[in-house]
């Protein structure tokens, strides 16, 4: 058995057992933060379902190779056209046409619906029909950050598999052993990833991602002492790019969480077991921890989380950022 998934052993075990016992569900919902491994696990399950070898997934047969290459005629990967974007009802209708035909190669047709939280209400409703009466040979795998972002009628028709971030040390080991990163870089990326291996692997190959992070940290530092007009100007600039807003809020929340760990003395002294996310900014974080009380830092973290939550509920990005940057930070 070669599921080729790092971590999430309980989920692999559960799916493997269901497959062997012939008790696989017609619909799964894998939840977890971006980069945690939902797509990797979905592809492994698809491979196991479509594999023509003896020990499924064998990783070597024609079906497994086609799945790995993204070309298997019975595997359909549907996702919003951009990120963030929307998954449209036309995409679901087209998928349903494919799923109504019998499998081309094996015994199943598998659909992976990535970032299904970005499906329009009509797309979600259209999929409900397939979820209610799926053709015998169809397995649907929905991916989303959490169940709250989906219609309850969708969630209740899926078996939910919640994927959690891996221990940071596990991510660091994987980055070293499998992706050949040197130890210090592996440790930093593992900490920054918060246990999301997929994110760490992307960061390892995308220098832009780390440059953007550094830029955002510098900007935040500059904003702390800046006049209100400058903060509002920054809010307006940032609000123009929805993806950047969420990225910045996540980064700020992680940053102040680090300050809180230091301010309360909850941070372990050894860098290897450090609970800090932004390991490479330790001196600056220590400065801030000495400057603010834990209560002040906690209030900031809560304000950032509240802003994140409002944005998820479609609040106006510029107004939300103005309140956060103008008064709460
Ligand atoms: Zn195979």
Tokens 């390892």 map to which residue?
A: 204
CA 95 – ligand 1 centroid, Å: 24
Give distance in angstroms: CA of 210 to centre of ligand 1.
37
Q: How far is the CA of 53 from the centre of ligand 1 (A)?
A: 5
Q: Is 200 in contact with 190 (CB distance < 8 Å)?
A: yes
Q: What is the 35 CA–ligand 1 centroid distance (Å)?
A: 25
CA of 127 relative to ligand 1 center, distance in Å = 29
Domain definitions of the chain by residue range: 9-162, 166-205, 207-328
Distances (CA, A) of 115 to 79, 123, 299: 6, 13, 31
Separation between Cα atoms, residue 131 and residue 125, nearest integer Å: 10
Q: Is the pLDDT confidence value at 191 over 60?
A: yes
**pLDDT surpassing 70 at residue 272:** no
Q: List CB contacts of 146: < 8 A, sequence separation 6 or more.
A: 31, 117
> Which of the pair, 107 or 272, is modelled with greater confidence?
107
CA gap 329, 156 in Å, rounded: 39
- Contact between residue 81 and residue 115 where contact means Cβ atoms under 8 Å apart: no
Q: What is the C-alpha separation between 190 and 213, in angstroms, rounded?
A: 15
What distance in angstroms lies between residue 106's CA and the mean position of ligand 1's atoms? 11
User: How far, in Å, is the centroid of ligand 1 from the Cα of 32?
Assistant: 27
What are the tens digits of pLDDT across the range 138-163?
999 999 999 998 999 999 999 999 99
Is it true that 9-162 and 207-328 share their CATH fold?
no
**How far apart, in whole angstroms, are the C-alpha atoms of residue 155 and residue 165?**
21
Q: What is the CA(3)–ligand 1 centre distance, in A?
A: 10
DSSP 162: E
**How many angstroms separate the alpha carbon of residue 6 from the centre of ligand 1?**
19
**pLDDT(108) > 90:** yes
With 0-12 / 13-18 / 19 or more C-beta atoms within 10 angstroms meaning exposed / middle / buried, residue 238 is buried
Distance in Å, CA 98 to ligand 1 centroid? 22
Instruction: Give the range among 175-184, 190-199, 319-328 with minimum mean pLDDT.
Output: 319-328
Burial of 91 (0-12, 13-18, 19+ CB in 10 A): buried
Residue 47: closest CA among 137, 108, 100, 94: 108
Question: Domain 9-162, what fold?
Answer: Rossmann fold (3.40.50)
Distance CA 37, CA 202 (A): 12
Ligand 1 centroid distance, CA of 54 (Å)? 8
pLDDT at 193 over 80: yes
Work out whether strand 75-78 and strand 27-31 pair parallel, antiparallel, or are unpaired.
Answer: unpaired
Collapsing DSSP states into helix, strand and coil, what is residue 265? coil
- State the CB neighbour count (10 A cutoff) for residue 10: 11
pLDDT band at residue 270 using 50, 70 and 90 as cut-offs: low
pLDDT of 271: 61
What's the chain's average pLDDT? 92
CA of 142 to the centre of ligand 1 (A): 23
- For residue 88, report the distance from its CA to the centre of ligand 1, in Å: 32
Q: Separation of 69 CA from ligand 1 center, angstroms? A: 13
Q: Give me ligand 1 centre to Cα 132, in Å.
A: 30
Q: pTM for the whole thing?
A: 0.86
Ligand 1 centroid to Cα of residue 9, in Å, is 20
Sign of the torsion formed by the C-alpha atoms of 234, 235, 236 and 237: positive
For residue 249, the SS3 value is helix
- Domain made up of 207-328: CATH architecture: Up-down Bundle (1.20)
Q: Where are the alpha helices (DSSP H) in the chain?
A: 9-20, 38-50, 62-69, 89-99, 121-132, 152-155, 168-177, 183-193, 197-205, 207-224, 228-239, 242-263, 282-291, 294-312, 317-323
State in Å: Cα 328 to ligand 1 middle: 54
pLDDT at 247 over 80: yes
Q: Put the strands of the sheet holding 138-144 in their side by side order.
A: 75-78, 109-113, 138-144, 27-31, 159-162
């Amino acid at each position: 058995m070669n599921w080729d998934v790092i971590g999430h052993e309980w989920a692999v075990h559960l799916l493997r057992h269901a497959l062997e016992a012939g008790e696989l569900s017609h619909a799964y919902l894998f939840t977890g933060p971006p980069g945690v491994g939902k797509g990797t696990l979905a592809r492994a399950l698809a491979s196991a379902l479509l594999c023509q070898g003896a020990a499924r997934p064998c990783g070597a047969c024609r079906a497994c190779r086609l799945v790995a290459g993204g070309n298997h005629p019975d595997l359909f990967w549907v996702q919003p056209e951009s990120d963030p974007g929307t998954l449209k009802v036309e995409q679901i209708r087209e998928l349903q046409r494919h799923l109504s035909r019998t499998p081309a190669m094996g015994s199943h047709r598998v659909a992976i619906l990535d970032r299904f939280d970005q499906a329009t209400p009509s797309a979600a409703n259209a999929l409900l029909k397939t979820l209610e009466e799926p053709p015998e040979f169809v397995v649907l795998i929905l991916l989303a950050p959490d169940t709250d972002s989906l219609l309850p009628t969708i969630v209740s028709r899926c078996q939910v598999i919640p994927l959690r971030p891996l221990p940071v040390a596990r991510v660091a080991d994987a980055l070293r052993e499998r992706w050949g990163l040197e130890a210090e870089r592996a440790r930093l990326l593992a900490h920054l990833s918060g246990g999301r291996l997929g994110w760490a692997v992307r960061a390892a190959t995308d220098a832009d991602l780390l440059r953007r992070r550094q830029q955002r940290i510098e900007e935040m530092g500059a904003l702390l002492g800046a006049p209100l007009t400058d903060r509002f100007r920054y809010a307006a600039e940032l609000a123009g790019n929805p993806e950047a807003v969420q990225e910045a809020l996540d980064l700020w929340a992680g940053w102040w969480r680090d300050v809180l760990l230091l301010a309360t003395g909850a941070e372990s002294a050894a860098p290897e077991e450090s609970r800090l996310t932004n390991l490479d900014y330790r001196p600056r974080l220590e400065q801030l921890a000495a400057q603010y009380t834990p209560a002040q830092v906690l209030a900031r973290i809560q304000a950032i989380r509240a802003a994140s939550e409002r944005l998820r509920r479609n609040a106006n990005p510029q107004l939300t950022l103005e309140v956060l940057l103008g008064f709460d930070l």
